[in-house]
Amino acid sequence: MEDIVLKAPLDGLTDLYVSPIDRQAYDENVENDSLGGERGYFIVRSFRGERARLEVLAKATSLSAAEVLFDLIVSARRP
């Protein structure tokens, strides 16, 4: 991933990010180019440990839209 804009831990092994991603990361983590290319901001879940991997959850065309999605996800996990 390129410049990470936002990051929040979800649990001990999982983090949530908002970040642009490069072409290689896009190709490796998005099936069938279903999000329309690597431009934009991506909401990505990162798993650490034995099965380390990235999972692209969503794409937003602007940083402000990505921030809203990030905040919704993070705030829903708070007690």
Can you tell me the mean pLDDT for 46-59?
87
pLDDT of residue 7: 93
Distant-in-sequence, close-in-space partners of 37: CB < 8 Å, separation ≥ 6: 26
Mean pLDDT of the chain: 87
pLDDT exceeds cutoff 60 at 71: yes
Backbone angles phi, psi at 72, to 5 degrees: -60, -45
